[in-house]
Structure 1
Amino acid sequence: MSSSAILWFRRDLRLYDHAALLAAARRADSVLAVFVLDDNLLRPAGANRRHFLYGCLRELDERLGGALLIRRGDPAEVLPELAERVGAASVHASADTNPYGSRRDERVRAALEERGIDWEVTGSPYAVTPGRITKADGTPYRVFTPFRRAWSEHGWPAPAETGVDTVDWLPSDGLGGLPLPDGDPEATPELPPPGESAALRRWHEFVESGGLAEYHSRRDRPDTAGTSRMSAYLRWGCVHPRTLLRELSRLDHHGAGSYRNELAFREFYADVLWNRPDSARHNFDPRFDRMPLDTGAEASTLFDVWCEGRTGFPVVDAGMRQLLHEGWMHNRVRMIVASFLVKDLHLPWWWGARHFMRHLVDGDLASNQHGWQWAAGSGTDAAPYFRVFNPTTQGEKFDPSGEYVRRYVPELRGLAGARAHRPWRSDASLAPDYPAPLVDHAHERQEALARYERIKNP
């Protein structure tokens, strides 16, 4: 007797190295591929992330020969109904360890169980599923370095050898599927090409071009193409980190070690969020609940100026404009603009985190929220609060020729070399349309430290 199952795609929009696909193949002769458009996730995603998602779905559907079923609604209602219609004995998915995903999946499990349908979770978007690594006493890690050691010692399985031929795919005709969205008209046109094929192509280009070998020395330089730009593909699971880690294990150079370290950081933040789901919206360190922050009309005006990239600090403005133009920002610059918001403007970190999540094509809740708390000093393994980035010297150090600044701030293209980082020292006629610095950094640094003095003791 033939049997069928459902594979619910989520943050795993690929066919290779797909553990849940392998599990479905072991349970059933034929599988229905499903993606559910969940408005609870789509609404806050932002145009860039939605647009990239839709492109990934189109590519996945093409690889499946048109067999991907798109439905919209509550997954706890959609999936049981579909399972009964196709006679599926089981529904398979990769784990979703984010707060909303965990709650939603529990509702899906309960709804399927009522109908006698199995709910089977296999794998996750991480090499090691969040929650599996703990200290000897069973408590979670709060500091990255010991987590990284434990993560490396724990290890992970080899990539699952799966593909389009792993199962027979049930046709999606007659099941009430929606046409694949064309995209989001509000998205920036500068997004990366979507899908699994583009992800693997980009990774191989990065490795073969020597980008990976030089990653450790170039990754902090926004003026060069020193990063892999794989973050959006990892965010949507167009490639699994295990696939990258296998490649890294074959290489013996500093670049591979540095890249592996960054993958570990991604897994660390996911683990933190799994253990402390409240940290997505609140300070991990409760002392910072007492931090005096600026709010009100004037604070909102300053925030708008920061969002638009008009602060008068060139590297900050370049980063904010890159975000609006490309849906992405270099990681070093993310730290600089975040420090400026919380320590020069004294605004809440969650304002900035929300703006990033609205525009980033790679917006990932765990990495974004905890990256912001690192900058604010309120998170786990945080940078010391007294480490206040000077945006001018940061720009000069990591963009020494001023190329990055001039690329995104055209008002400064008349200033050659590093002079682009200090336009106030040049003839005003060379950058007449660029604003003066919004604040005095030296003064605001002292103000930030004074505010910290009020809360640093429990």
Structure 2
Amino acid sequence: MKLTSSLVWLRRDLRVFDHVALHQALLASERVYCVFIYDTTILDALPRRDRRVDFIHASIAEVAAELKQLGGHLIVRHGDPVREIPALAAELGVDAVFCNRDYEPQAIERDATVERALDAAGRKFHSYKDQVIFECGEVLSQNGGVFSVFTPYKNAWLKKLAADPSVLAPYNIEPHAARLAPPPSPAPALPTLAELGFEPSNLAELKIPTGMSGAEKLFEDFLPRIADYNVARDFPAVKGPSYLSIHFRFGTLSVRHLVRTVLDLQERGAGGEGAAVWLSELIWREFYAMILYHNPHVVGGSFKPAYDAIQWETGPEADELFAAWCEGRTGYPLVDAAMLQLNQTGYMHNRLRMVTACFLIKDLGIDWRRGEAYFALHLNDFDLASNNGGWQWASSSGCDAQPYFRIFNPITQSEKFDGEGKFIRRYLPQLAQLSAKEIHAPWLAPRMLAPDYWPPVVMHDEARKRTLERYEVVKKPA
């Protein structure tokens, strides 16, 4: 029996193609409305200039334009979704609300609250899998357990996909678009950034592609380079990554389309090792989402509780070291250049995320949670599961983590992955006069060549010894 009308609630799925909830609502309903809520419970805590809000704002404009072209329209509200969604459902008189699932603890609680309110009013709440290929309980071990190590999870993930490739089937919208509710007359204008309480950031200046078209452009640009991804991805001065992470975060792309494309490349004997490695990175994303879902204690606590016994550096000296790390003035060029990249652009190369995280934790002895929170505030692509998983990997407290006795040396990392110093010079022009050999440890060069640079805040060899002592509390065997 068809529903008279329904409401599709867009969240981390800012697109109008291959969209599960929208597809299902159009199949089930005679008339379908679409809404996006600027969530004040999230936005109120952000700085007034935030690149992510700019990105969402531009992406929403594209969604609204696409819906208009299909004969529908996008309703935009500003408030707490727990109140706004039930109120809008009542205002429109819809029979049900459709959305795609979110796996973060706060989102799960929010959706449960909305569902209860809708149920009390006699309305249904339908949620679907869309942002992942396999949900948190779909890839399990042979005895039905939850994986805590990536490689067995990846193997099971690939085996499950091979057994059921239908999970990659697209969810087409256009054949059913006639059921989209037409716009009112006159149609209200979308809210401006100022009306939302925000000011423009430097997103446009950085030329970060936004929306569905931006994601498509980046993916098309990446495909000719994907065969080299396995090597190029480690060098921050090289155009190696796909730069799609922010689009994954806000769902301006379809993960099913990406995986279909990569598998098609492999079937045609194209893509090389790079395509396989990039697919592994997509699987890492789902692995961390699964870990968060089954282990919500990782929000604020170690995946391995024994690591919560570690005594981190505290007090004014630790605060100053943390500030030096945040501001890119540790005296270690690769670390500082990476932090300046983050502060100026909201992006950080993945290799550098590992280097900077390990430096904060194992050179400075500062609690990984402080670094995690800083990244959460500044990363354009901030995703709770991936950010938490990455930081716990670096701190050795997470699942499938780096062993605590393996400590990145920031100098050798610099020499290996930015050998000519091209990335460093981009963000630290005061080191431009240093040679490729000197630039990785400027304190060893004649000071007149780098007069405006900082001395190292710690010496790595000494810090490494302190870290090994600090981690003795966990009694982890070598």
With structure 1 as the length reference, what TM-score do the two structures score?
0.95
Q: Does 1:36 align with 2:47?
A: no
CA distance in 1, matches of 2:200, 2:429: 23
Q: Residues 384 and 43 (structure 1 numbering): CA distance in 2 closer, same or farther, change over 3 Å?
A: farther
CA distance in 1, matches of 2:135, 2:209: 27
8 A Cα contact 1:70 1:177, kept in partner: no
Q: Residues 191 and 446 (structure 1 numbering): CA distance in 2 closer, same or farther, change over 3 Å?
A: farther
Q: Residues 425 and 380 (structure 1 numbering): CA distance in 2 closer, same or farther, change over 3 Å?
A: same
Match of 1:147 among 136, 147, 153: 153
Aligned to 2:353: 334
Match of 1:421 among 426, 440, 445: 440
CA distance in 1, matches of 2:388, 2:202: 23
Aligned to 1:399: 418
Structure 1 SS opposite 2:225: coil
Match of 1:205 among 202, 217, 221: 221
Tell me the amino acid that sits aligned with residue 23 of structure 1: Q
Q: Residues 292 and 6 (structure 1 numbering): CA distance in 2 closer, same or farther, change over 3 Å?
A: same
Q: Residues 230 and 112 (structure 1 numbering): CA distance in 2 closer, same or farther, change over 3 Å?
A: same
- Spell out, residue by residue over 1:173-209, the C-alpha distance to the aligned partner (whole angstroms, 9 max, x if none): 48997733337436333261210111011101111xx
Tell me the amino acid that sits aligned with residue 33 of structure 2: L
Q: For residue 148 of structure 1, report the CA deviation from its aligned partner.
A: 0.5
8 A Cα contact 1:44 1:358, kept in partner: no
CA distance in 1, matches of 2:46, 2:262: 31
Aligned to 1:160: 170
Structure 1 range deviating more: 236-245 or 176-185: 176-185
Aligned to 1:444: 463
CA distance in 1, matches of 2:306, 2:141: 24
Aligned to 2:84: 78
- Spell out, residue by residue over 1:37-77, the C-alpha distance to the aligned partner (whole angstroms, 9 max, x if none): 22222234561222211121111112122821111222232
Q: Does 1:52 align with 2:55?
A: yes
Q: Does 1:180 align with 2:199?
A: no
Structure 1 range deviating more: 1-10 or 180-189: 180-189
- Count of equivalent residues: 456
Tell me the amino acid that sits aligned with residue 373 of structure 2: R
With structure 2 as the length reference, what TM-score do the two structures score?
0.91
CA distance in 1, matches of 2:92, 2:185: 11
CA distance in 2, matches of 1:93, 1:229: 26
What is the alpha-carbon root mean square deviation over aligned residues? Answer: 2.0
8 A Cα contact 1:10 1:35, kept in partner: yes
Alignment of 1:128-277 (within 5 A): 128-155=134-161, 157-163=167-173, 166-167=176-177, 168-171=179-182, 173=184, 179-182=190-193, 184-185=198-199, 187-189=201-203, 190=206, 192-207=208-223, 210-252=224-266, 253-277=272-296
Q: Residues 296 and 111 (structure 1 numbering): CA distance in 2 closer, same or farther, change over 3 Å?
A: same
Tell me the amino acid that sits aligned with residue 286 of structure 1: P
Q: Residues 341 and 442 (structure 1 numbering): CA distance in 2 closer, same or farther, change over 3 Å?
A: same
Tell me the amino acid that sits aligned with residue 54 of structure 1: H
- Spell out, residue by residue over 1:203-257, the C-alpha distance to the aligned partner (whole angstroms, 9 max, x if none): 01111xx311110111111010110000000110001211110011012311110
Structure 2 SS opposite 1:434: coil
Aligned to 2:66: 63
8 A Cα contact 1:191 1:326, kept in partner: no
CA distance in 2, matches of 1:97, 1:416: 48
8 A Cα contact 2:361 2:395, kept in partner: yes
Aligned to 2:397: 378
Tell me the amino acid that sits aligned with residue 158 of structure 1: L
Tell me the amino acid that sits aligned with residue 194 of structure 1: T
Q: For residue 165 of structure 1, report the CA deviation from its aligned partner.
A: 5.8
Match of 2:406 among 365, 387, 397: 387
Q: Residues 254 and 307 (structure 1 numbering): CA distance in 2 closer, same or farther, change over 3 Å?
A: same
Structure 1 range deviating more: 383-392 or 419-428: 419-428
Structure 2 SS opposite 1:420: coil
- Spell out, residue by residue over 1:236-293, the C-alpha distance to the aligned partner (whole angstroms, 9 max, x if none): 0001211110011012311110000000000000000000111021111111111010
CA distance in 1, matches of 2:390, 2:26: 38
8 A Cα contact 1:248 1:260, kept in partner: yes
Q: Residues 388 and 175 (structure 1 numbering): CA distance in 2 closer, same or farther, change over 3 Å?
A: farther
Gaps spanning 5+ residues in structure 1: where? none
Q: For residue 85 of structure 1, report the CA deviation from its aligned partner.
A: 2.2
CA distance in 2, matches of 1:268, 1:44: 28
Q: For residue 20 of structure 1, report the CA deviation from its aligned partner.
A: 0.8
8 A Cα contact 1:71 1:176, kept in partner: no
Structure 1 SS opposite 2:439: helix
Structure 1 range deviating more: 126-135 or 9-18: 126-135
8 A Cα contact 2:333 2:424, kept in partner: yes
8 A Cα contact 1:191 1:327, kept in partner: no
Structure 1 SS opposite 2:474: coil
CA distance in 2, matches of 1:435, 1:7: 53
8 A Cα contact 1:373 1:382, kept in partner: yes
Aligned to 1:3: 4
Q: Residues 204 and 176 (structure 1 numbering): CA distance in 2 closer, same or farther, change over 3 Å?
A: closer
- Spell out, residue by residue over 1:133-191, the C-alpha distance to the aligned partner (whole angstroms, 9 max, x if none): 22233321100001111111222612424245632332454899773333743633326
CA distance in 1, matches of 2:288, 2:44: 24
Aligned to 1:124: 130
8 A Cα contact 1:8 1:35, kept in partner: yes
Q: For residue 120 of structure 1, report the CA deviation from its aligned partner.
A: 0.6
Structure 1 range deviating more: 155-164 or 446-455: 155-164
Q: Residues 220 and 169 (structure 1 numbering): CA distance in 2 closer, same or farther, change over 3 Å?
A: same
Structure 2 SS opposite 1:205: helix
